[in-house]
Chain A
Amino acid sequence: MAQDEKRLIEEVTQSEYKYGFVTDIETETAPKGLNEDTVRYISTQKNEPEWLLEHRLKAFRKWKEMEQPNWAHLKIAEIDFQDIIYYAAPKKKKELASLDEVDPELIDTFNKLGISLEEQKRLSNVAVDAVIDSVSVKTTFTDTLAKHGILFCSFSDAVKNYPDLVKKYLGMAVSPSDNFFAALNTAVFSDGSFCYIPKGVRSPMELSTYFRINAANTGQFERTLIIAEEGSYVSYMEGCTAPQRDENQLHAAIVEIIAMKDAEVKYSTVQNWYPGNKEGKGGIYNFVTKRGICKGDHSKISWTQVETGSAITWKYPSCILSGDNSVGEFYSVAVTNNYQQADTGSKMIHLGKNTKSTIISKGISAGHSNNSYRGLVKMTKRATNSRNYSQCDSLLLGDQCGAHTFPYIEGANKSSIIEHEATTSKISEDQLFYCQQRGISQESAVGLIVNGYAKEVLNKLPMEFAVEAQKLLSISLEGSVG
């Protein structure tokens, strides 16, 4: 048994990162380092209006005064913020009129990633905005969506075409001085996705963004802004990969969601950045600020995430429930293996009356990794009759890993109920034995149990992602026995 375990764990730790290829695309990059000139360079490159440059500079000045946070349960090698290229874009040969003119290398990249833009367009009903290194390269289905009045485009296009909307909502959920990485992103963000769902519209298809870091030594700083007007609905998906490199690369993104009265936004992520090799070398530093505001009454924001990649994950998708009767949800599966570290969870800030939130977090740690849940549930005085339920389970596979839970619970009124429960354990020997007894191999049995353990969250994912997520889970963990 012990021998088997060892072999199986080894197998798991040796499973390769299949998205680790580099695409040979000529890129245009900003000079290394960060100063006001870099910020101005990026802004000029993108032909941005004056107010946006000011917004960036304001954030940059705040950032200079801030210190990198160290409260997370993470060991982060010192990041030299001057040794990063803050802007890299695939070199534009000429203006593109249709998909056919997109660099074939690029198309090839996306095909390898399994999100063939062409095929997506034809076969599935998903609109994709693909962001490579910091620039949005192709958005599909724009026309179809436009018929419904939905605006779905790259962030730069949005700045160009809908400056009023961007100006009104940018920074509403995540202010430029919110935290160290948010300030950095606000100063140097290069592109991202923008999505606006008008009043009463139910998006006819799922919207999706695909992020890819390709160039070496670059950081990716994208920005997503989703605005759901009164009574609208959208389901939004985000996926990400990066090539295999020895050095660590920085990814500091911001996602902002604003949900008006009766609106519902469902945001799903499958995060599969390069996690580093099995000695813990390389990999992406993923420092992401995701926050949604339920501004209107009866609005709802739901975050679902499957986190399997990144050397370090620092990410707390949050909901500010300011509208009465609004609902926030957070479903997460975080898998860490080898020397990966994850400190992730959610913040639910209840401001409105009768607000409800649910947090379901499933952590799985293997190898030498550390996986922490860190969350905040806050009921303010005004949030009467509010309700929160949190459940954070951790599964340990192997005796060299760690699983931690750091919930912060703050109650300040007499009519709200907050419940938090968490358990930490290894795969039950009984369950394993039961499966094996019925002729299921140890490896499949573990896969079965882990998948069952994560089911509660996987079920919340849109169809396309659920399949991918399940595959990812099995790649990362199949056969590990604790």
Chain B
Amino acid sequence: MSKELNSIPVLDSIPQWFDAIVGKEGNAFKGLQNVRTSALEDFNRLGFPNKKMEKWRSTDLKNVLSFDYSMATKDFLMKDILEEVFECEVQELDSYVMNLYKGRFVYKESPLHILDDGVIVGSLSAAFDKYPELVEKHFGKYAKTENNAFNALNTALFLDGLFVYIPKNVKVEKPLQLINAVGTTEDVFVQNRNLIILEENSQLTLIHCDDSYNYKRSFTNSVTEIVLGANASIDHYRLQNINNNSSLKSTVAVEQARDSRLNTNSIILNGGLIRNESFVTLNGEGAHADILGVYLADKNQHIDNQVYVDHAVPHCTSNELFKGILDDYARAVFNGHILVRRDAQETLASQNNANIILTDKAMINTKPFLEIYADDVKCSHGATVGQLDDSALFYIRQRGISEDNARMLLMYAFAAEVTQKIKIDSLRERVEDMVKKRLRGELSICDQCVLQCSNPEKYNFEIDMSKI
């Protein structure tokens, strides 16, 4: 570890936090003590990533790690906290809502619900107490700690998170919404851990929102593990909209069995520094993964998407599409990596990253990697960096639409390729609305909640055809 990195204040706090949560004084998750201790060892060995590492050369954590963050070390479950923190639910969306506040689980009646059909939804820590075997079978198996410092830190220090268990042949019709909010107090460091298990032939829609309550600084290190049994299917939406002082490092590790389907869609609207890492392992024949994302960044924001798809067995398909619009001084990073292993024949994989840069100060680094060891495969990737199409702009303006509106329309259409893939109507409408607002600059973190939708429409997208 270099000298420079030793000056990260959090490094001094980590041993104390660990002692308080896991060590002599702590008593959380007794059964996990060994796992947590070895994860801490991994973290101590790895240290926080720096720019000299290939995977981090475009994302600098020095600034966001220079604050003396604090972390809660007790009271894992919270009852009835401020209602207004969680105003961000998608209205008109009939869903189960789970709330995490600063990495702790918030509940009204009970931290763990067992539904009639055997579905278990609730706090991970409560699930650890009640169903240790079920949790330990999968926990920590997919988000590796040996070579990923943030996964290691999360495993060592996490407080709580969402646990979902869907038994065989159960289809959960209602979407499940997880809202992880930070804020209210200064400089908070949050370790959030989720485990989602889908047994054979089951189905779930999960909406994972990361929001911030106000402008206070925070650093969230979130790890989600998703296990898909044979023929299971999950629609996973990530909505990320945190303030410009906050950082979010979010890992999603997915393990897919035979014929399972993953559809993950990341909508990144706002954030000081966001880094998403997705690790998808296609480990059963016939598995399919759609990994989509759209990112809109301005000011000094930094958005980094890392997608690693491992085609471990034959006959799997994967499809990646990430689109981004960068304004002001914003910086975005995309690093896709498709690995096709030696015998993973008949693989079909595609990877696409398209970017629009609006200013000369914005920057994009994109690295679409292919690593292929099997011959009977079709893999393709593409990356573009460009700007709005002048002739398209001209075409629209020619029809009497103002330049501002025309630009909005084009940017909106650019992002729509990803947003329109959202399968839940009310969510799609909400996201599209947010994208419009974001492009108009109206969607900075509103005072209370990002989804305050009271602003009058400044730009009219509905074009009156009768006048043309």
Contact = CB atoms under 8 A, between A and B. Distances in A.
Interface of A: 71, 73, 379, 381, 384, 394, 396-426, 482
Contacts of B376: 399, 426, 482
B362 interface: yes
Given A402-B373, A405-B370, A412-B364, 13 more contacts: A402-B372, A406-B369, A409-B366, A409-B385, A411-B366, A418-B386, A419-B383, A420-B382, A424-B377, A424-B380, A425-B379, A426-B375, A482-B375
B360 A381 contact: yes
In this complex, which of A379, A401, A405, A417 has the most chain B Cβ atoms within 10 angstroms of its Cβ?
A: A405
Given A409-B365, A410-B364, A411-B364, A425 B377 contact: yes
20 contacts: A394-B372, A402-B371, A404-B369, A405-B370, A406-B369, A407-B367, A407-B369, A409-B366, A411-B364, A413-B360, A414-B357, A414-B358, A415-B387, A418-B384, A418-B386, A419-B384, A422-B381, A424-B372, A424-B377, A424-B378
Contact of A416 (B359, B372, B383, B385): B385
B355 to A, nearest CB: 7
A417 B375 contact: no
B54 interface: yes
User: In the complex, which range does the number of interface residues on chain B fall in?
Assistant: 35 or more
A399 B385 contact: no
Contacts of A397: 375
Contact of A408 (B358, B365, B382): B365
Nearest to B351: A422
B360 A421 contact: no
B48 to A, nearest CB: 21
Contacts of A417: 384-387
Could you tell me the dominant secondary structure of chain A's interface residues?
A: strand
B342 interface: yes
B230 interface: no
A402 to B, nearest CB: 4
Nearest to A382: B360
Nearest to B349: A424
Nearest to B369: A406
B368 interface: yes
A424 B379 contact: yes
Contact of A407 (B54, B371, B380, B383): B383
A410 B387 contact: no
Contacts of A423: 378-380
Contacts of B369: 404-407
A6 to B, nearest CB: 14
B234 interface: no
Nearest to B57: A408
Given A403-B372, A404-B370, A420-B368, A414 B384 contact: no
Contacts of B372: 394, 396, 402-404, 424
Given A418-B385, A423-B380, A426-B375, A384 B363 contact: no
Nearest to A482: B375
Given A421-B382, A422-B382, A424-B377, A414 B371 contact: no
B416 interface: no
Contacts of B382: 419-422
Nearest to B58: A410
Contacts of B386: 416-419
Nearest to A414: B357
Contacts of A398: 375
B374 interface: yes
B375 A396 contact: yes
**Top-3 shortest CB links A-B:** A411-B385, A396-B375, A418-B385
B456 to A, nearest CB: 30
Contacts of B387: 414-415, 417
A411 B357 contact: yes
B345 interface: yes
Contacts of B343: 399
A420 B357 CA distance: 16
A71 B54 contact: yes
Interface string B397-423: 000000000000000000000000000
B367 A409 contact: yes
B345 A399 contact: yes
A73 B343 CA distance: 20
A414 B359 contact: yes
Nearest to A418: B385
Contacts of A424: 370, 372, 377-380
B449 to A, nearest CB: 33
Nearest to A394: B372
B185 to A, nearest CB: 37
A35 B17 CA distance: 53
B50 to A, nearest CB: 16
B337 to A, nearest CB: 9
